[in-house]
Amino acid sequence: MPKEQNPFEIDFDSYIRQSEPSKQEKGKLWQTAIGLQQVDGLTPSKYLYKTAKRNIDGDITIEEAKKLIDSYYESKEGRTGDDDDKEESDKVSVRIREILAEQTFSFTPDLLLSIHKRLFTGVFYKVKAGSYRTYNISKKEWVLDSEFVLYANADMIKQTLDYDFGQEKAFDYSTLTPDEAIKHITRFIANIWQIHPFGEGNTRTTAVFTIKYLNSLGFKVNNEPFEKNSWYFRNALVRANYTNMTKGIYMNTEYLEKFRCC
């Protein structure tokens, strides 16, 4: 017997295939925003799906969708016990959806700070949204068989970001093919993630920045990996920053390059 579809979930593929262009675009944005929550093992509530559908159908604006989600978590009314642990996923999803739709971009480290602040204000309480971490961190990585990727020293975050952004801004892409350009861009993005400027939320912040940067350069982003395999994005970032010469393993950006479609 086929699995019964949750009545609150959206068949994004159906929206994208069958709807008019405006709904297609909104569906893709929600598809990416919700999919990115899987990076941290988060899933949205039924209410988020219902709200997203209303936005895609044009019944409410994204600003109204944000207010509905905020109000939903300010009150217990209408909320189920299963939704109590989904506040982060819902709030960050609708905020990503909003940011990705904005036709603005600024190539500075301040944009990273702004994205982090907008995504996680009122969501993270142990970490200050929109501020660089002030302590050193390390994490064992599953994709590396529990070995570590080395993150930047907390005292050097601002200087390292300024250097990387300065190098990228000065780089001349005019002689490169699109494939060569993507290879260079993914190296830059991998470097930014490796700095791990924030205590939490680095991968989602990096993903949003990456999408907006690629769009600003005229590239289209493949939404499917973010929707269905967003954990792959994080693992690709890890793999792009890991070298173990004794094992013959070297940093490799080829997996990140799959996120560009054309």
- How confident is the model at residue 75, as a pLDDT? 81
152 pLDDT more than 60: yes
> Mean pLDDT highest for which of 41-50, 77-86, 115-124, 209-218?
115-124
CB 210 within 8 A of CB 203: no
Over residues 88-107, the pLDDT tens digits come to 999 999 999 999 999 999 99
Residues near 116 by beta carbon (within 8 Å), at least 6 away in sequence: 129, 130, 198, 201, 205
Q: pLDDT (tens digit, 9 = 90+) per residue, 239-254? A: 776 555 566 555 667 7
Could you give the CA distance from residue 161 to residue 166 in angstroms, rounded to a whole number?
A: 8
pLDDT for 259: 62
pLDDT above 90 covers a percentage of the chain that reads 52
Position 235 confidence tier, pLDDT thresholds 50, 70, 90: confident
Supply the pLDDT for residue 1: 36
What was the pLDDT predicted at 93? 97
How long, in residues, is the chain? 262
Beta carbons of 66 and 30 less than 8 angstroms apart: no
pTM of the model: 0.85
Q: Are 164 and 195 a contacting pair, CB within 8 Å?
A: yes
**pLDDT value at position 144?**
47
Cβ atoms of residues 33 and 97 within 8 Å: yes
User: Residues 63-91: pLDDT tens digits?
Assistant: 999 999 999 998 866 666 566 679 999 99
Average pLDDT, the chain: 83
Please list, in sequence order, all residues whose beta carbon lies within 8 angstroms of the beta carbon of residue 88, skipping any fewer than 6 positions away. Answer: 37, 40, 42, 123
pLDDT, residue 232, reads: 74
Residue spans of the domains in the chain: they are 1-102, 105-262
Average pLDDT over residues 184-190: 92
For residue 7, is pLDDT > 50? no
Which class is 105-262 in CATH?
A: mainly alpha
Q: Which is more confident, 122 or 16?
A: 122
